[in-house]
A and B are shown apart, each in its own frame.
Chain A
């Protein structure tokens, strides 16, 4: 929230299509994260990036891809290989310059497969 913009807020995708979710931040944070939220399962980590041009798989990376070409941007692509993509997706950022800092979250994108 505040300084983290996720777009669009709602997204509809046909089966078999790739779709890209945007996450932009103006907080000058190095670390960025993508989470998926499903009812009763909490937040599950998809990918995270510590710095530009570097990212790591989280717990549920299969069917997703990311890039980190700019510090401000960390787009998430949901590919056709993701079997159940309908979910609420949250982007977060953190500044590890002070290692104890908390993460800040965007307002989320709700993706629905139709």
Chain B
């Protein structure tokens, strides 16, 4: 079985400050990890992914994420948050040997001006 945990329901930061959204996962095989963002009443937009290689991956809109195999984590980061980053963020995992794609419960990010 595979699963994703996002331990924080909400993250609040001031504009210009660093933003971190936490994610831990569990899979039996090699993890393929993804981050998505969702704006109200919309579908999900892909931000970035880790498949293999460098543990630090860079994605859209200045976001990056760090894969940590020993801690089974894949935290999303942005060095300087913008008000427009306020949205719902989802972490997802897939076992490299399977098609099933599992999501976490989501973290609501609010960036105040």
* Cross-chain contact of B100 among A58, A99, A106 (Cβ < 8 A): A58
- Which A residues fall within an 8 A CB radius of B? 1, 4, 6, 31, 33, 35, 40-45, 48, 50, 56, 58-59, 88, 90, 92, 94, 96, 99-100, 102-108, 110
In the complex with contacts A90-B44, A106-B43, A40-B99 CB distance below 8 A: no
Given contacts A99-B96, A102-B49, contact A45 B101 (CB under 8 A): yes
A35 to B44, CA, bound (A): 11
Size bin of chain B's contact surface:
20 to 34
Binding site for A on B (CB under 8 A): 6, 9, 32, 34, 36, 41-46, 49, 51-52, 90, 92, 96, 99-106
**Interfacial chain B residues near A100, Cβ < 8 Å:** 32, 49, 51-52
Specify the main secondary structure of chain A where it touches its partner: strand
CA distance A24 to B101 in the complex (A): 19
Complex: how many Å from CA A78 to CA B90? 25
Write out the residue numbers on chain A whose beta carbons fall within 8 Å of the beta carbon of B42: 1, 107-108
> Most chain-B CB neighbours within 10 Å: which of A42, A48, A88, A100?
A42
